[in-house]
Structure 1
């Protein structure tokens, strides 16, 4: 299953520049995280919720839609925290990270409607200690740039590229 999901991710998004929105959602000293399959070869990948913008959609609208699809949560989008560039051929993405507040507690593992082979394995609120226990290659690189959740608001506006 992971191999077919990996192939599908590379077919859909490989060799194309993709604009993504992501939400940093903190509550009770925990961050909302999603465990994906198919993003990292033969391994799981943890990252905050988010996804690609569709033509004619604002960044805020896209983030609200992505949270609803992936977690069933309704959100309020806050300020833009930072921009991250991911470059791990064949994938290339510019990611806009926003502060996010949840408006409900009806969290349910969702789906990615573009994917036939679903890649969302789990959604979970995680502590900083749980985040740091994950191997670096299985975790979004933004977590290697900070020492606490609070430091997200102090990152440079543009984090530059991340070659894998």
Structure 2
């Protein structure tokens, strides 16, 4: 498992550009549970990941969705940028809508992490009521900026969250 205090954590002590996709079907939003992340010990977050040098944002988002969810998606509208800054992490995240093209939903893995360090543990769609009832410390901070969490696709502009 990924050790948050381990000095080789690939996500710490650098600015990381990420891309995230909001897949909404039947008014429900798809989220992944990331273990060992955040103050509650886990975090529900949209599929996505780090943009590698030479890869476009759109290519990255499609690849991350396939790796993490087994779904092929079409990238839709750019919505907003979320900047997260903490003692060890600094992420600039670009949020887009996505639409399912094909595939059967299945929990995948993060290829940036070794098999014994995987942090993805669950995948599911959340109804508006379920989203709004998730404890604040267990959901990606961008949902908190939306007010009613199911309205995240209404956000625009820059959101900055310092922890």
46-55 or 98-107: bigger deviation: 98-107
| Residue pair 2:65, 2:71 contacting (<8 A) in 1 also | yes
| Residue pair 2:37, 2:43 contacting (<8 A) in 1 also | yes
Consecutive unaligned residues in structure 1, runs of 5 or more: none
Give the corresponding residue for 2:46. Answer: 48
2:111 counterpart SS class? coil
1:65 counterpart SS class? helix
TM-score by length of 1: 0.90
Q: Tell me if 1:154 matches 2:136.
A: no
Which has a greater percent of helix?
Answer: 1
TM-score by length of 2: 0.91
User: Superposition RMSD on alpha carbons, in Å?
Assistant: 1.7
Give the corresponding residue for 1:89. Answer: 87
Count of aligned pairs between the two proteins? 160
Give the corresponding residue for 2:55. Answer: 57
Consecutive unaligned residues in structure 2, runs of 5 or more: none
Give the corresponding residue for 1:124. Answer: 124
| Residue pair 1:9, 1:38 contacting (<8 A) in 2 also | no
Map Cα deviations across residues 12-53 of structure 1 (whole Å, 9 max, x no partner).
Answer: 111100000000110001000000012225611001101001
Map Cα deviations across residues 109-145 of structure 1 (whole Å, 9 max, x no partner).
Answer: 0000111200000000111111122111111111112
Map Cα deviations across residues 68-124 of structure 1 (whole Å, 9 max, x no partner).
Answer: 010000000001000000112201000000010011241110000111200000000
Alpha-carbon distance in structure 1 between the residues aligned to 2:33 and 2:6: 17
Match of 1:30 among 12, 28, 31: 28
Where do 1:90-105 residues align within 5 Å? 90-105=88-103
